Amino acid sequence: MPNDSTTGGFLAPSSTGSDLNDDALQDFLQTVVVGITGLPGNLVRPRWQAEPPNVPDVGVNWAAIGPGAREREPFSARKQTQSAQIVIRNRTIEVLCSFYGPNAEGNGELLAMGFELPQNRQMLEYANGAWTGFNLVGGVQGPVIAPALLKGKWYYKADYSFKVRQQQQYTYPILTVEKVTGTLELQQPGVTTSISESLNVTAPSED
């Protein structure tokens, strides 16, 4: 069984909330870009793949996206509940989006303008019905027009980027103290007094 605060030793989280990393993060961001731009899902692709698929024809509109640099805030907050301690910390993730095809800049502007709607930004907060802790930081940056040479042809390309802040919440099995029983000795010259007492501690609520 995993350790908890009563056993000593290293503690592993009992829950990482809906923290998104690696492929899950990339899939989530792909869903957001597809939803806002209206591009087909199979034409919004990860920037880096172990086995890259064939590049679409030069006249096809498509996009490549990928999370880039992460910057984590140096300090965390901790919240104690009756049965656990929640470690809360924010990090910022830069997302790179390259749009290709004859409507590359137009699709990039769909993303930039679409993020101005609160309803679209709210879609960052949930994945498969679970809270993600994401929100948009600032607006979408770009475009940088930078045609790319692919398959011996010049592809029109417009690069955009945006930043999201994610609140991570990891739960660790650190229990509260509910009762303390002990003996207190009071010493004065020539006199020793012992007091036995049981102290009940009210644990914080789960709210």
Would you kindly state where each structural domain of the chain is located, as residue ranges? 22-172
Alpha helices in the chain (DSSP H): 22-37, 104-114, 118-122
What number of other Cβ atoms are within 10 A of residue 33's Cβ? 23
In this structure, what DSSP letter does residue 15 have? Answer: B
With tokens 């024809």, the residue in question is 57
> In the predicted model, is pLDDT for residue 124 greater than 80?
yes
Structure confidence by residue, pLDDT tens digits, 46-104: 998 888 889 999 999 999 999 999 999 999 999 998 889 999 999 999 999 999 999 99
Largest pairwise CA distance in the chain: 99
pTM higher than 0.85: no
What pairing do the DSSP bridges indicate for beta strands 62-72 and 130-131? unpaired
At the topology level, CATH places domain 22-172 in: Alpha-Beta Plaits (3.30.70)
